Amino acid sequence: MSRIGKKPVPVPQGVTASVEGQTVIAKGPKGELKFVVNEEVLVRMENGEIAVEPRDQSRTARSKWGMSRTQIANILTGVKEGFEKKLEISGVGYRAAMQGKDLQLALGFSHDVIYKAPEGITISVPKPTEITVSGIDKQQVGQVAAEIREFRSPEPYKGKGVRYAGEKIVRKEGKKK
């Protein structure tokens, strides 16, 4: 049984949420998001909270119950405050810069890597070794951060590459003679 699914999702102040069939629509100061809940899960709005429950006690309905509740909580948080991921670049000569709306990365290749930000995502570079990805859709923010990290993942010997802020890299010992 889902323990997180039992808790109703409170609608924060300044956000309007509505449930139309299986679609949850949230409008807030940052924008508007929709989430279509799976048919095996029942969604209803009651006194300022969105309640989620499985239609029956089948294994698939119960497995989608908690995930649906979390997705609804994420869209409500997204339209109210938004989400942000920070990336750090370490390595000699590795740096980032903004080129218009595109992110330009120098990661030790023979060429610079240009990354075009998708619609709804804002990328900023406060320092040449820091990248901030922000937006209202948590899944999209995480996906963009993962794509940027993928250009040069941190390697285990010197730790050079693009990593999430606060990420610990398990270091390996070099070859001994």
Res 1 pLDDT > 90? no
Structural domain spans, the chain: 9-80, 83-164
- pTM, full prediction: 0.87
9-80 is a CATH 3.60.150.10 domain: no
Task: Take residue 128 and report the two structure tokens written for it.
Answer: 């040449």
DSSP 52-104: EEESSS-HHHHHHHHHHHHHHHHHHHHHHT-EEEEEEEESTT-EEEEETTEEE
| CATH of the domain spanning 83-164 | 3.90.930.12
Query: What 3-state class would DSSP assign to 117?
Result: coil
126: CB partners within 8 A, 6+ apart: 132
Please tell me if the domain spanning 9-80 has the same topology as the one spanning 83-164: yes
Q: What percentage of the chain reaches a pLDDT higher than 90? A: 63
> What is the pLDDT confidence band of residue 21, given thresholds at 50, 70 and 90?
confident
Adjacent-strand bridge partners of 143 = none
Q: Give the pLDDT confidence of 45-81 residue by residue, as tens digits.
A: 888 899 998 988 888 888 889 899 999 999 999 999 9
